[in-house]
C-alpha cells in the first residue's frame, strides 16, 4: 500500500486531487481511499487530503500519519505547516516550486527525497488559472510510477467534462514529462 498526504489551500484542488487519483487507481483494478481533513476553513486556508492506493482491500479508516509521499500543491503552506511531519525516512516530497532542492533543504530542513515541478507556471500556461491539482498529479504519477496519461483520461473526462478535461489532461502530461526527482 502507498499512503499519500496532500497539502494545499482551500480552492486549489487538494481534495479533488486525492479523489481523482483514487478513481484512477480503481479504474486500474486497485483499491483506493481518498478523503479530506478540514474544519470550517474558508477558501485559501490550509487544507489536507489523504489517499491510499493498494493491490488489496484497505481496512484502515484514519488519517495518514506516516505517509510514503507528501504532495505540496501550494508552497506557501510550508511556512505554516510542517509538511514533512511523519513522512517515512525513505519517503518522497513532491513540491510545487521553481526553487532548487538545495534551497528547500536549507530553508525547511527536509531530509527525504524531493521532486519538484513548477506547477503554477504550467497551470497558468495551460489552464489559465492558478489551480495546480492536475499538474501535481502528473508529477506524482511520473515520480512514483502510479499512473500514465492514458490511465487518468476517463476520470478527468468524468470530473471535468468535455470542455475542461482536455486542458487538465494537457497539464497532467506536461508535468508528467517535466517532473524530476532530485538527482535525475
User: What pLDDT digit, counting tens, does each position of 69-115 carry?
Assistant: 999 999 999 999 999 999 999 999 999 999 999 999 999 999 999 99
Residue the block writes with cell 480503481: 26
How many domains does one find in the chain?
1
Whether the pLDDT of residue 141 is over 80: the answer is yes
Say which CATH number the domain at 143 has: 3.40.920.10
Q: What domain range includes position 38?
A: 2-181
Does the predicted TM-score (pTM) go above 0.85? yes
What does each C-alpha distance from 118 to 122, 127, 159 come to in angstroms?
7, 14, 24
Tell me the pLDDT tens digit for each residue of 11-23: 888 999 999 999 9
Kindly state the percentage of the chain with pLDDT values over 90.
Answer: 86
List the 31-37 sheet strands across, edge first: 31-37, 46-54, 2-9, 69-72, 92-96, 113-117, 180-181
Amino acid at each position: 500500500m502507498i499512503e499519500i498526504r496532500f497539502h494545499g489551500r482551500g480552492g486549489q484542488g487538494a481534495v479533488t486531487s486525492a479523489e481523482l487519483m483514487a478513481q484512477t487507481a480503481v479504474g486500474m483494478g486497485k483499491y483506493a481511499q481518498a478523503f479530506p481533513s478540514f474544519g470550517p476553513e474558508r477558501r485559501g486556508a490550509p487544507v489536507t487530503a489523504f489517499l491510499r492506493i493498494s493491490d488489496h482491500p484497505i481496512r484502515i479508516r484514519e488519517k495518514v500519519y506516516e505517509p510514503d509521499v507528501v504532495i505540496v500543491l501550494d508552497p506557501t503552506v510550508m511556512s505554516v505547516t510542517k509538511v514533512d511531519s511523519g513522512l517515512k525516512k525513505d519517503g518522497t516530497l513532491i513540491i510545487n516550486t521553481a526553487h532548487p532542492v538545495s534551497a528547500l533543504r536549507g530553508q525547511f530542513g527536509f531530509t527525504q527525497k524531493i521532486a519538484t515541478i513548477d506547477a503554477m507556471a504550467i497551470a497558468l500556461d495551460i489552464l489559465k488559472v492558478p489551480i495546480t491539482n492536475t499538474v501535481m498529479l502528473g508529477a506524482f504519477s511520473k515520480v512514483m510510477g502510479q499512473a500514465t496519461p492514458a490511465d487518468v483520461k476517463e476520470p478527468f473526462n468524468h470530473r471535468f467534462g468535455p470542455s475542461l478535461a482536455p486542458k487538465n489532461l494537457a497539464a497532467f502530461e506536461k508535468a508528467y514529462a517535466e517532473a524530476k526527482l532530485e538527482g535525475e
